[in-house]
Amino acid sequence: MTSAPVALPGLPDGITAGRFLEGFHFMLLARTLEDKIAALYHSGKITGGVYLGRGQEAFSAALAVCLRQGHDIFAPLIRDQAGRMAFGEDILDTARTYLGSVKGPMKGRDGNIHRGRPDKGMPAMISHLGAMISVVCGMLKARQFRGISDTVGATCIGDGGTSTGAFHEALNLAAVEKLPLVVAIANNQFAYSTATDRQYACKDLVDRAIGYGAEGYSVDGTDLAACLAVFDKAVTRARTGHGPQMVVGNLLRLCGHGAHDDGSYIPETIKSTPLGQDCLKLARQKMIDHRWATHSELEAMEAAAAEAVQQAVAQAQRDPAPDPAAETWQPLASRWLLETDHPTT
């Protein structure tokens, strides 16, 4: 790749071309992997649901690359494949979980998107509808009780999830406790088939931040550079004692709710607005326009991503399935607590 100076035209202050490239790398890897997972689902090779983050990769990856792996907490939801990878999730973890391998982090027992690595600061997802915010609040509070004050906890949610009681209770608690929490709201215009005008009546979801006593930001969720800038700020503010941060990313889900849903209720009129732009294509074009990478360098990245996905899927397909008779049926969290000397969450 072309080496780049620290500040470049086309990038907000403080965002380097290296960081943009890092975000792009995870977006590309996630898109490549999810395309493969969707194909496997449609050919009947995957049991259970498949939920894709198509169109949300920039928002998701940008949040996670701004976090400190091994120190911070990241609770991803169903559209956060890019963020998971940017926070260190191994591609094999994903492939093994979807393909029911006993060698996966959930030992082939749990639903595909309910995987995690709590020992690495990534709790397994309970629900898409707000449950993870209070889990992250609890993990942050536990760290504080141990005298660790500079851990940031981040999680994501959709526009629909912001209407739940769980969302409200957790945000209120985080603000009262002034927790270093970052909540990324991916406003992808639909909760399953429910459009945002049936979801909330405020002008912009970010207006809710004031009501909770949190700091709020609204960003173009299709623009990787803008997402990196806003999360860099929000994570820094959370880490330095400014309490919960709410970031609303405006974008469009470029697929159905899950691989079982064709998304035919999403009107063409919204697909042709700026919200409907493909963040991966935009980021790729930006790299070309600014000469941060050449066409052939990008093609090499794409080939490397395809190869990494192919190898992970092939490996997971060779792995054994779980054996119910040999299984201890121990919950993941207690297995981890028993196996580690110094739990950090």
Q: How far is the CB of 301 from ligand TPP (least distance, A)?
A: 27
Q: How far is the CB of 116 from ligand TPP (least distance, A)?
A: 17
Look up residue 157 and give its two tokens.
């949610």
Residue 289 φ/ψ, nearest 5 degrees: -55, -40
Q: How far is the CB of 251 from ligand TPP (least distance, A)?
A: 10
| 3-class DSSP assignment, residue 75 | strand
Q: How far is the CB of 187 from ligand TPP (least distance, A)?
A: 8
Q: Which is nearer to ligand TPP, 50 or 186 (CB)?
A: 186
Q: Which is nearer to ligand TPP, 58 or 287 (CB)?
A: 58
Strand partners, 217: 247
Q: How far is the CB of 168 from ligand TPP (least distance, A)?
A: 14
Q: Which is nearer to ligand TPP, 111 or 322 (CB)?
A: 111
Query: Is 127 in contact with 157 (CB distance < 8 Å)?
Result: no
CA proximity to 58, closest of 267, 275, 224, 241: 224
Helix, strand and coil content of the chain, in percent to the nearest 5, comes to: 45, 10, 45
Q: How far is the CB of 188 from ligand TPP (least distance, A)?
A: 5
Q: Which is nearer to ligand TPP, 25 or 128 (CB)?
A: 128
Look up residue 73 and give its two tokens.
């907490």
Q: Which is nearer to ligand TPP, 105 or 161 (CB)?
A: 161
* Neighbouring C-beta atoms of residue 296, cutoff 10 Å: 8
Helix (H) or strand (E) holding 306: helix 295-318
Q: Which is nearer to ligand TPP, 8 or 126 (CB)?
A: 126
Q: Which residues of the chain form contacts with ligand TPP (CB under 6 A)?
A: 79, 127-129, 158-161, 186, 188, 190-192, 253, 257
- Could you tell me which residues come within 8 angstroms of residue 155 by beta carbon, excluding any fewer than 6 positions away? 74, 75, 76, 77, 132, 133, 135, 136, 181, 182, 183, 184
